[in-house]
Amino acid sequence: MTTEQNAEQLKQKVREYWNANPCGTQFAHTDWGTKEFFDEVERFRYSSQPFMKELVGFDRFAGKRLLEIGCGLGTDLFQFARGGASVTGTDLTPRSIELAKARFDMAGVPAQMLVADAENLPFENDSFDVVYSFGVLHHTPNTEKAIREAYRVLRPGGTIILMLYHKHSLHVYLGAPLYWLAGKIRKGSLSALENYIRIYDGDENPLGKAYSRSEARRMMRNFSNVRVTLCDPIRRKYSRPLNTVNQLLFARWLGFWMVLKGKKPA
């Protein structure tokens, strides 16, 4: 089998996994697709990621054409729309798009929504003022190709905001050896690190990758003014003191989430 065929096979597994487990549903106890469900997903997201409003700036793009790649349930996309952006949401999985559409329809908020692969975006060059993708491109086999696509569809002078997992983080340094000792890192075609990262999004998640700052900057080399911010969500499985110490002392140096912001040169 060729490398491309392997990658397509892996992407099919990625699609099946996220279609069966749309991102965010794991934290909700209400029936999928109801108003209560979307409210619960939103409450959970921004209470465990309280930095999002400031870091991402949902209300800074009024009047701009904004594309979200891998929008999942559309929770962030909805905030951008509320902030006045004209939004397009894409995801690899029909289930996420169906749910995200239901969310917007329920609120009477307009959005263009479609199933699309980050590695082959169905848009003309220079179509958007902003491209946003949070926690997505490390799940696709060819992350570099997806970043090239984001660059292609962004207009010159446009803004990109990406979140990728960060390799040199407490999550990796402390967790990976523990998981390895406990025998939880299964053998397979992925490296031990990728196997550990994969599990962060569920035992059956087929693919997860993490990058150093310099690796991420290399993939973003065509963009200018690239700035990197590290952060961590508040994790419910850890005690409040542990979360507080992490947020105050470690997250900004050794966080597992790496947010990259840049511009396409004008």
In the complex, the residues that contact ligand SAM under the rule CB under 6 A are 14, 18, 23-24, 69-72, 75, 91-93, 96, 117-119, 134-136, 139-140, 201
For tokens 């263009």, name the residue.
112
Give whichever of 189 and 225 is closer to ligand SAM, judged by the CB atom: 189
d(CA 171, CA 136): 18
> Is the C-alpha dihedral spanning 115, 118, 119, 120 positive or negative?
positive
CB neighbour burial string for 201-233, b if at least 16 within 10 angstroms, e if fewer? beeebbbbbbbebebbeebbeebeebebebbbb
The distance of closest approach from Cβ of residue 99 to ligand SAM in the complex, given in angstroms and rounded to an integer, is 10
Retrieve residue 226's tokens: 């690239």
The distance of closest approach from Cβ of residue 36 to ligand SAM in the complex, given in angstroms and rounded to an integer, is 18
The distance of closest approach from Cβ of residue 125 to ligand SAM in the complex, given in angstroms and rounded to an integer, is 19
Give whichever of 117 and 129 is closer to ligand SAM, judged by the CB atom: 117
Retrieve residue 9's tokens: 């096979």
The distance of closest approach from Cβ of residue 244 to ligand SAM in the complex, given in angstroms and rounded to an integer, is 24
Nearest in space to 96 (alpha carbons), one of 76, 72, 117, 113: 72
- For 71, counting Cβ atoms within 10 Å of its Cβ (0-12 exposed, 13-18 middle, 19+ buried), the class is buried
The distance of closest approach from Cβ of residue 135 to ligand SAM in the complex, given in angstroms and rounded to an integer, is 4
The distance of closest approach from Cβ of residue 204 to ligand SAM in the complex, given in angstroms and rounded to an integer, is 13
| Residue at shortest CB range from ligand SAM | 72
d(CA 151, CA 56): 18
Give whichever of 209 and 264 is closer to ligand SAM, judged by the CB atom: 209
Give whichever of 251 and 259 is closer to ligand SAM, judged by the CB atom: 259
d(CA 100, CA 63): 21
Give whichever of 23 and 160 is closer to ligand SAM, judged by the CB atom: 23
Give whichever of 26 and 214 is closer to ligand SAM, judged by the CB atom: 26
